[in-house]
Amino acid sequence: MLAIRSFIFYCGYLPSGVIASIVACIIGPFLSIEGRLKLFSLWPRFANWFLSLTCNVRVEMTGMENLPEGPCVIVSNHQGQWETFSMQYIFHPLCTLLKRELIYIPLWGWAMYLLKPIAINRGRPREALLQVFSEGQDRIDKGMHVLFFPEGTRVEPGTIQPYSRSSFELASRANVPVLPIVHNSGDCWPAHKFIKTPGTIYLQIGKPHMVKNAKESAREIENWTRESLKRS
- Residue 22 burial (10 A CB sphere; 0-12, 13-18, 19+): middle
Please list the ranges in the chain whose pLDDT falls under 50. Answer: none
For residue 201, give the 3-state DSSP assignment. Answer: strand
β-partners of residue 201 are 59
pLDDT of residue 232: 67
- The reported pLDDT for the residue numbered 28 is 92
- Report the DSSP beta bridge partners of residue 95: 146
Range of the domain at 111: 2-231
In the chain, the number of structural domains is: 1
Closest to 108 measured CA to CA, from 46, 214, 50, 24: 24
Query: Where residue 97 sits, what CATH number does that domain have?
Result: 3.40.1130
The residues near 157 (Cβ < 8 Å, ≥ 6 apart) are 79, 184, 186, 187, 190
**Rounded CA separation 147/126 (Å):** 20
Give yes or no for a contact between 152 and 164, defined as CB atoms under 8 angstroms apart. yes
Per-residue confidence (pLDDT) for residue 118, from 0 to 100: 93
- Spatial neighbors of 127 by CB under 8 A, at least 6 apart, are 121
Q: Are 140 and 176 within 8 A, CB to CB?
A: yes
Task: Give which of 118, 126, 145 is closest to 205, Cα–Cα.
Answer: 145
